[in-house]
């Protein structure tokens, strides 16, 4: 397992050697300060960035295609994040505007998404992990069939989830368990875990059902131990059968993953090491057509060709200070 000092050295070397840093020396400072300020005000933005990262990288590799999708597509893709994911999208756009103002159009929205997600994980207490740079932005929105291939939280078995992850270069069951740990800072609407509440087969699920009956529009913390900190509280909760999703509970019940859940519950360091490894693998998920595209110059929400003909409205809700345009 890499020590914190070794990870710090790797982070420094990554910055010095990265093409994005070479193209825009101010980029690291812009990303770090902007994300830290935003997450300090609203920890849920870290969860929003992670969800964008997963939905963008899992289907076709990290190409910012999810940012081009129509409002209705994003509505379905963002699921329980409600207004959080649009604000996370606006945060990515704010960073693009700042970086391009400082260095010109030298950094892609795909790279910014990766860097901002890593910065958000770190700002909320999680580990550093390497991400590839030099990714180009897709010229087309993500195909709906691909956007929604991301494994669902409701009823998939561990075997089914592992099989889906394997198609993206994440064939180790440890990848599934560690990446599920991102729920440590997540929240979800009652409708997203209704399968669990309907079964009400343990004390915690009965409590969830009662709360959702009383407050149907509530947002449930996915980590009931330390919901505002990126740590191993999610896994500690699972050992007490306090998983919100059926797929969460499957991790502690299935023999292939139960031991890892217990290991991560006992050791934050073990979880962080595997999470960093698995995030790096997902960030390098294969792109079927290779690294083709452009650097979006005017907005992360439209291609350069759409600058004149299209005006994209992300959502009616806009966080003060997050609006950005160039």
Q: Could you give the CA distance from residue 62 to residue 73 in angstroms, rounded to a whole number?
A: 18
Q: Could you give the CA distance from residue 9 to residue 34 in angstroms, rounded to a whole number?
A: 23
188: β partners: 220
Residues listed for the chain? 326
3-class secondary structure per residue, the chain: CCCHHHHHHHHHHHHHHCHHHHHCCCHHHHHHHHHHHHHHHCCHHHHHHHHHHHHHHHHHCCCCHHHHCCHHHHHHHHHHHCCHHHHHHHHHHHHHHHHHHHHCCCCCHHHHHHHHHHHHHHHCCCCCCCCCCCCCECCCCCCHHHHCCCCCCCCCCHHHHHHHHHCCCCCCHHHHHHHHHHHHHCEEEHHHHHHHHHHCCCHHHHHHHHHHHHCCCCEEECCCCCCCCCCCHHHHHHCCCCCCCHHHHHHHHCCCCHHHHHHHHHCHHHHHHHHHHHHHHHHCCCCCCCCCCECCCCCCCCCHHHCCCCCCCCCCCCCCCCCCCC
- 55 assigned to active site: yes
Q: Could you give the CA distance from residue 274 to residue 234 in angstroms, rounded to a whole number?
A: 15
Q: Which of 31, 49, 53, 55 is catalytic?
A: 55
Active-site annotation, residues: 55
């Amino acid at each position: 397992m890499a020590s914190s000092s070794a990870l710090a050295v790797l982070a420094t070397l990554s910055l010095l050697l990265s093409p994005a840093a070479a193209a825009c020396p101010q980029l690291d400072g812009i990303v770090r300060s902007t994300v830290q300020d935003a997450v300090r005000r609203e920890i849920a933005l870290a969860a929003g960035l992670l969800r964008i990262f997963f939905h963008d990288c899992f289907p076709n590799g990290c190409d910012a295609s999810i940012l081009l999708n129509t409002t209705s597509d994003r509505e379905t893709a963002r699921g329980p994040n409600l207004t959080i994911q649009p604000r996370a999208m606006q945060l990515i756009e704010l960073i693009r505007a700042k970086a391009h103002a400082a260095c010109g159009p030298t950094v892609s929205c795909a790279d910014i998404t990766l860097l901002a997600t890593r910065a958000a994980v770190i700002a909320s207490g999680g580990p550093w992990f390497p991400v590839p740079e030099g990714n180009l932005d897709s010229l087309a929105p993500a195909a709906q069939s691909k956007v929604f291939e991301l494994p669902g939280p409701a009823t998939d078995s561990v075997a089914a989830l592992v099989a889906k992850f394997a198609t993206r270069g994440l064939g180790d069951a440890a990848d599934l368990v560690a990446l599920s740990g991102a729920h440590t800072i997540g929240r979800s609407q009652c409708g997203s875990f209704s399968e669990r509440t309907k079964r009400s087969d343990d004390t915690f699920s009965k409590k969830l059902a009662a709360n959702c009956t009383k407050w149907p529009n509530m947002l449930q913390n996915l980590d009931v131990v330390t919901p505002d900190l990126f740590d191993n509280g999610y896994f500690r909760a699972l050992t007490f059968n306090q998983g919100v999703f059926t797929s969460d509970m499957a991790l502690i019940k299935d023999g292939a993953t139960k031991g890892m859940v217990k290991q991560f519950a006992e050791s934050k360091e073990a979880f962080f090491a595997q999470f960093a490894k698995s995030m790096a693998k997902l960030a390098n998920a294969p792109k079927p057509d290779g690294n083709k595209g452009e650097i979006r110059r005017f907005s992360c929400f439209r291609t350069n060709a759409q600058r004149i003909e299209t005006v994209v409205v992300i959502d009616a809700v806009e966080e003060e200070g997050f609006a950005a345009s160039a």
